[in-house]
Amino acid sequence: MENSCSRRKFLKAAAAGSAALALSATSYSRVIGANDRISIGIIGCGGRGLGVHMPGVHKHAKSQNIEITAVCDPWRLRREAAAAKVKEWYGRDARQFSSYRDLLALKDVDAVMIASCDHQHTTHLEAAANAGKDAYCEKPLAMRLDRLKTACGAVKKAGTVVQIGTQLRSFPSFTGCRELYKTGILGTVGRIEQCRNGERPYWYSYVKDIKEKDVDFKEFLMDRPMRRFDPVLYSGWYGYREFSDGSVPGLGSHFIDLVHYITGAKFPTSCVCLGGTFTWKDEHKFTCPDHVQALWIYPEGFMVSYSTNFGNGSGNSFKMFGDAGVLDMVNWTAPILTAEGANSRKKGPIRGKNPVKDVPRPDHFLDWLQCLRTRKTPNASIDAGYQHAVACIMAMRSYDTGRRMIYDSEKREIRER
């Protein structure tokens, strides 16, 4: 009898161990040795890919033993510029492609950096996961909820390491704000707001005279309807709703992600959003609003407001309002805690203006590179990306319909009310 019980315990333990091994097999199979060079491919060689992603990882090339080996972009001039930079840095020619499919087919590429257009993010991320490639993916993560769920599901199934490009959460200053918030020093927080304004919409600065012969236009359009090549539409895609939803996901995704990061909140329960084009009406006929305001209600008991005025650059703000004081984060690298506007009936501990203490942490690119080896979860995980995307999609659905949107976190559904 004793031997039988011991045998059952052994078999049970063995089964549990086998299950654990099975669950972690995908992740552990991707572990890269400390001395193995990580090969990285770039998908999207525009302002973010060539101007930010590539130098962002290259500065850690020696310490993290990485190399950019392949580049991909529908515009020939951009991918050639990226390839030239690779040659300058590493002394070897980068493989160049107009389609992400060809880059992802390379067996020796370990990870990709996705800096493509907004309407392409989920397609590229899902394909990277299905190819077993780790990824760094720009925000906003998605424009549609169904594509968001599909891409995130592919990442979870593949067990790949994914960092989302909401890099502000890796600022020591905002991590300091997060630790400060946890202390409860602000009292009851009822409102969090950001006003991010400018003289004109940012998409105007991207408009260029591009030759049709230099562009794989079909690759750019992806699942969008085919039409005649338009250099303004191609270069200024940020301003067209078919390819981008404008400033709420384009700029506001950083803000919403920081709200989640600092407060620990995950999903809003409801959202309303209004806006339109009131200032910049011209021959380009951009369809993204130059003025917009979104309001979200969170189950934690506060309201979150984001607004953009692209007709006047004044009035920028980023504040958390508690009944014991204000956390002013308009200066991203030097936030301030004050007792401004505090409830006079409460005598809180805040006195004067107090700089928030930084909490050192790796920069966003270094954090991702380190996680490629350790297989740990990056600071802006796929779950964090899912959360900011849900909030932004709610806002744009409300903008389009004029109705309040409700999010059901259990069913993972957005519906009108």
**pLDDT tens readout for residues 72-93:** 999 999 999 999 999 999 999 9
Domain-embedded: residue 16 = no
Quote the pLDDT of residue 356: 98
How many residues make up the chain in this entry? 417
Distance from C-alpha of 180 to C-alpha of 23, rounded to nearest angstrom: 37
**Is 373 within the bounds of a domain?**
no
Compute the distance between CA of residue 217 and CA of residue 213 in angstroms, rounded to an integer: 9
pLDDT of 134 strictly over 50: yes
In terms of domains, do 140 and 246 share one? no
Question: Token pair of 33, please?
Answer: 């040795």
**Residue 3: predicted pLDDT:** 43
Assigned token pair, 122: 């989920």
pTM passes above 0.85: yes
**Which range marks the domain in which residue 128 is found?**
30-167
Identify the CATH number of the domain in which residue 127 sits. Answer: 3.40.50.720
Domain tally, the chain: 2
What average pLDDT does this structure show over 377-382? 98
Q: What is the separation, in whole angstroms, between the first and last Cα of the chain? A: 63
Residue 11 lies inside a defined structural domain of this protein: no
Residue 22 forms part of a structural domain = no
Give the whole-angstrom CA distance, residue 281 versus residue 200. 11
Does position 163 have pLDDT exceeding 80, yes or no? Answer: yes
- Residue 84 or residue 33, greater confidence: 84
Query: Which tokens in the block code for residue 353?
Result: 């203006």
What is the per-residue pLDDT across 98-111, written as a single tens digit (0 to 9) for each? 999 999 999 999 99
Q: Which two tokens stand for residue 190?
A: 């009822």
Lowest mean per-residue pLDDT among 21-25, 106-110, 186-190: 21-25
Of 6-10, 18-22, 407-411, which one has max mean pLDDT?
407-411
User: Which of the four pLDDT bands, split at 50, 70 and 90, describes residue 35?
Assistant: low
| pLDDT band of 15, cuts 50, 70, 90 | very low
On average, the pLDDT of the chain sits at 93
Asked whether residue 27 carries a pLDDT value surpassing 60, the answer given is no
The answer on pLDDT for 8 being more than 50 is no
Residue 47 falls inside a structural domain = yes
- Of the three residues 112, 135, 167, the one that is the final residue of a domain is 167
pLDDT of 189 higher than 80: yes
